[in-house]
Structure 1
């Protein structure tokens, strides 16, 4: 790891950009022993060993689990920010435009970086439940309507299919 940090230092000097050691942190993924790891030094400053950290908007902890509650909250905030544009309401936008807004803005923000983080079936169920509830609310369908009706009326594929598609695009393009 120290060799990788030295390489990053040399590369940053060569290409004239700075890496701020005080804004850097390191986590141990799946720690097997409670022993502290060796000191990691970047530009003469020790990098602290943290349990949770965020990198490029992706929250990581030592167990590498998906924070489903935060993902759903992000999707909810994105949906509510679209409400002023006619996303909700009978006098609002057409159904096809609502579907386009949902697939363009809401779903990509919820699924950001999920193709690289291991997730469980419970995580997928929670994300799909949020998607179905939101789509039924936007279309003014009752909660007891079938899930496939909420998806097929707008022509949207389920979260599971979209996540599998983005994972395949990541590894096979």
Structure 2
């Protein structure tokens, strides 16, 4: 879990001279040196933040409270500043939230109150959820029926339906934004270029995070319909054309195959991790 101080010193010495500018309403400020925080979109920003936040993750891990799989503690899945605490009881969750809040006070940063929410877990046997009362400092955290963690929509029953609907809406918006560049069948860019743009920008959004759920064919039917419809429009072929023909002409594969490929890739990445990593221990 720990990251050595040597790495912190190397990264800071490399990054201390980073500079930036501010753009506002078409105007650009003079260049200035960044002396606090990390640069938005900077190459090293994510790594620097991971080093900075690692002490909090260590505290959450070694406190011993929260969710466990067997004897493996996995109480705080985190990606950069997107942290989620997991617990089997209100008392455990309150302890984890208090640790995170105390750390923020010690390091002098503020937690985002609108994004700090409680998502109860649906009990499979009783089909009901408890409504825990959790405080972040002196403010009670709101209880919600869905929230987003690392870009994946979570619900009390952990169903992929909501995540699929969100992905479909985002993919449509992305597709519409590319139409002005010529991504629209007839009188647009050539099919090969359109397929490349669609594969690069739309499909990753359409299938984002679904390798975690592994949804059933019925769940992903709306995604399949969207993919087939768009492919036929890009290729300028009739909607009555057999689906295999559109996949052969475009070189793409169905949504279900894309999700399975991503799941195999995820498993392969976990298998290559060090034996001491939590992900590797859970997979074993």
Specify the alignment match of 2:79 in structure 1.
none
Q: Residue in 2 aligned with 1:28? A: 120
Q: Which residue of the other structure, out of 18, 25, 31, is the alignment partner of 2:110? A: 18
1:113 aligned residue (209, 214, 217): 209
1:2-53 Cα offsets, whole Å, 9 max, x none, are 2221232244345543213353111112144757444212122221222223
Give the 3 Å change call, closer, same or farther, for CA 41–123 of structure 1 in structure 2: same
TM-score by length of 1: 0.84
Which one has the bigger helix percentage? 1
Most deviating of 28-37 and 141-150: 28-37
Match of residue 41 from structure 1: 135
Query: CA-atom RMSD, angstroms?
Result: 2.3
3-state SS of 2:205 partner: helix
Rg: which structure is higher? 2
**Where does residue 152 of structure 2 map in the other structure?**
58
- Cα contact 1:79–1:106 (8 A) shared by 2: yes
Q: Provide the C-alpha distance between the structure 2 equivalents of 1:169 and 1:43, rounded to a whole number of angstroms.
A: 40
- The two structures have a TM-score, normalised by structure 2, of 0.54
Where does residue 146 of structure 1 map in the other structure?
Answer: 242
Q: Which residue of 2 aligns with 1:171?
A: 267
Gaps of 5+ in 2: 1-92, 270-284
Q: Which runs of 5+ in 1 are unaligned?
A: none
| Length, aligned pairs only | 173
| TM-aligned CA deviation for residue 102 of structure 1 | 0.7
Deviation of the 1:170 alpha carbon: 2.5
Aligned to 1:8: 100
